[in-house]
Amino acid sequence: MRSAPTILHLDMDAFFAAAEQAAKPSLRGKPVVVGGLGPRGVVATASYEARRFGVHSAMPMAQARRLCPNAAYLVPRFSLYRSVSNQVMELLGRLSPLVEPLSLDEAFVDLEAGGAASDARSAREAGERLRRDILAVTGLTGSVGLAGSKMLAKIASEQAKPDGLVLIEPGTERDLLGPMPVRTLPGVGPATGEHLRRAGMTTVADLAEAGEDELVRLLGKSHGSALFRMATGHDDRPVVAERDAKSVSVEDTFDVDLHDRVRIRVEVERLAERCVQRLRGSRHSGRTIVLKVRRFDFSTLTRSETLRGPTDDPAVVREAAGRLLESVDTTGGVRLLGVGVTGLADYTQEDLFAQAAAGEKSAGEGHGSPERAHAAEEPEPPEPEPAVERRWSAGHDVRHERYGAGWVQGSGLGRVTVRFEEPWSAVPGRVRTFLVDDPELEPSEPLPLVGRDREQPPDESPPDPPSSRE
């Protein structure tokens, strides 16, 4: 526990939804909900306008639509969120070399380590400067908590929401924590909270008054002792700059259970491709491929295969995931699939696997016959894949040859509706509808957000035709 509030916790406000509002002028000041849009989808983030209707994260999307039918419902755009997150983390890095990211929109910073603060006054100045810089660079707001420990800094940032700063002066911790519910403390989830409630403890003050011995009796030595220390305001956890990733994974929940084995295989291969993209994006490779399958009855199976060395080769990951699928019974249907890679490393050995696979293929196909081995070197051209109708998800970026940049408002019945506007548009853009297979309409990468102190698009982005700004 520090004698000065020099641990900072930043939590961006309604991050995904706020980024969408910044990117889409027509949604600013309106309810926005980001998450899975299918019947089994859940809310990832809701804007503060949507929260007034009772919408919150982890809520089933169907319930959110009933509570707030007039909100804009969008699928997540993680490439945009990662880009903005990188900008925010760079600003944090200017304050201190000790930055501990917790997610795309949340991090701890040790202000003492960077010399940015040594007392309450300098800590507050650093926090306010950070909030101004984030707004100037990204156009988004973040809430800042300052305290002498990580636990209290996080509690302070919660109190600061939205778009505020709260500083907890050392020495006031117990008075502040006392009336708070026990679930305020880290490590107290629903089960532990209910166990404590049955024992007559509902506030943090109740835990402190019960004493360490009683909490150890109820929760065990490790958990009970740690909880008592936190209830009395003690938290000595340091800010850790390097949080090494242990795995990379992607998964999809399907609106309707998948029964077709071929379709399931195709989805696994697509997930493997996406997983490798994320793996390469983190500049890692991995040794162990993991397949996750949640069946129709909610039973979840995992299968894994450890390779002889780390790889980031999409073919290797795809084929390993396919082999794992062969060992899973999908009778009755599949509602979720996931592919992951663990055992991460900073280098690859994909050449070993390519050589091994080539050797096994030659041995299996040649059967010792020179003629067959020679024929295997000149495979027949693959059959063309059947045409797949393009899917246009609400919120995704597009570009039209005539109208410029825009985003999908919705699609159905063979048509897609697009609003043409950019983050720096002064007014909401025009809406137009096209056939889903319009050759002039193509998916596009997200445009960069524009900070509050910048009114023009970046120099590298040429202005679009006037029709896109109407």
Catalytic residue IDs: 106
Instruction: Collapse the DSSP code of 293 into the 3-class scheme (helix H, G, I; strand E, B; otherwise coil) and give the result.
Output: strand
Which tokens in the block code for residue 343? 């055992």
Cβ count near 47 (within 10 Å) = 26
Instruction: Collapse the DSSP code of 341 into the 3-class scheme (helix H, G, I; strand E, B; otherwise coil) and give the result.
Output: strand
Closest by Cα among 5, 1, 2 to 144 = 5
What's the rounded Cα separation, in Å, for the pair 96 and 107?
A: 12
Which tokens in the block code for residue 403? 């109208």
What are the start-end ranges of the H helices in 211-260?
A: 212-219, 221-231
Cα angle 383-252-69, degrees, rounded to a multiple of 5: 120
C-alpha separations of 385 from 331, 381, 382, 437 in Å: 26, 12, 9, 17
Q: Which residues of 429-467 are buried (b: 16+ CB within 10 A; e: fewer)?
A: bbebebeeebeebeeeebbbbbbeeeeebeeeeeebeee
Which value, to the nearest 10 degrees, does the dihedral of the CA atoms of residues 220, 223, 224, 226 take? 150
Non-local CB neighbours of 209 within 8 Å, separated by 6+ positions: none
Residue carrying the six token digits 């996406």? 274
What's the rounded Cα separation, in Å, for the pair 307 and 348?
A: 11
Cβ count near 173 (within 10 Å) = 22
Axis-axis angle for helices 78-95, 120-138 (nearest 10)? 150
Query: Alpha-carbon torsion 365, 369, 371, 377, what sign?
Result: positive
What are the start-end ranges of the H helices in 161-220?
A: 173-177, 190-198, 204-210, 212-219
Phi and psi at 432, nearest 5°, equal -140, 155
Cα angle 93-94-98, degrees, rounded to a multiple of 5: 40
Closest by Cα among 246, 247, 388, 249 to 321 = 249
List strands edge to edge, sheet with 32-35. Answer: 43-46, 32-35, 72-74
What's the rounded Cα separation, in Å, for the pair 200 and 216?
A: 15
